[in-house]
Structure 1
């Protein structure tokens, strides 16, 4: 009787862990990334975004026009631009500390604007709030603040 109980508990634990991993694997991409439809067309989305970035005191550290880049290699894709944003007050808080610099590949914040075949413009970015949590400490604290400001910039674009 006791042996059957133990076997039942072990089987239940294994099945529960398997189910958890399956759900996490399926839900993971949707939790790690955000995608929203812009209320504007592509060009106006870019224009409003750049204006909001400037008003928020952030900088555009770089922009990659992937349509143009890929066109130069013989590929035709619908409009897509990837922006790299930087807020010196946040990036400096992390980059000035030796033990936190290892997260620098996550910097600057990247936001992608693209059209889809449905004719609408979309905005995609990493869920920085979620990604920051496992790091804890200064990294989590700073990335939470930066994520909140980034979302405030994008709120002007999203339906």
Structure 2
């Protein structure tokens, strides 16, 4: 009996240890989708803006973080963050009182920034997060994530 309890406890501790490693090491690398752009910074911004329109999404706001930092006396390299919205997707979440808490993740955000002489595009991996949500949110976030990747297709390598 003692041997069985010891094996169970050992297995439990190993399982917990593996989960901690997964959460601390693997998961953070999966939280964002990061792609190198095949275009320069300004061209990437322009191409995404055009692709948003072509894919029938809207862009309610563009944050120029470099300009914002400069107003505060701080210098950073170019960074722009786009708020992307497709009202049909947003409505499916916002019209349901039980799903409205997901609005904290809305609208979808896409960032364009420079690093090491290259331009990158990043976004939250909402497809991954969607797997942790209820059926409706999972479906909407999955659809939005796939469409965001389609919007970014003209610029990513």
Moved more, 104-113 or 16-25: 16-25
Q: Distance in 1 between matches of 2:131 and 2:18?
A: 23
Q: Which runs of 5+ in 1 are unaligned?
A: none
Q: Which runs of 5+ in 2 are unaligned?
A: none
Moved more, 21-30 or 55-64: 21-30
Residue 124 of structure 1 aligns to a residue in which SS?
Answer: strand
Structure 1 residue 16, shift from structure 2 partner:
2.2
Q: Distance in 2 between matches of 1:95 and 1:19?
A: 37
The within-5 A match list for 1:4-153 is 4-116=3-115, 118-153=116-151
Structure 1 residue 29, shift from structure 2 partner:
1.2
Q: What TM-score, normalized to structure 2?
A: 0.96
Q: Which runs of 4+ in 1 moved over 4 A?
A: none
Q: Distance in 2 between matches of 1:20 and 1:92?
A: 36
Q: Distance in 1 between matches of 2:86 and 2:11?
A: 48
Residue 99 of structure 1 aligns to a residue in which SS?
Answer: coil
Q: How large is the Cα RMSD of the aligned pairs?
A: 1.0
Corresponding residue for residue 155 of structure 1: 153
Q: How many residues align?
A: 157
Q: Distance in 2 between matches of 1:135 and 1:123?
A: 25
Q: Distance in 2 between matches of 1:129 and 1:8?
A: 37
Structure 1 residue 17, shift from structure 2 partner:
1.5
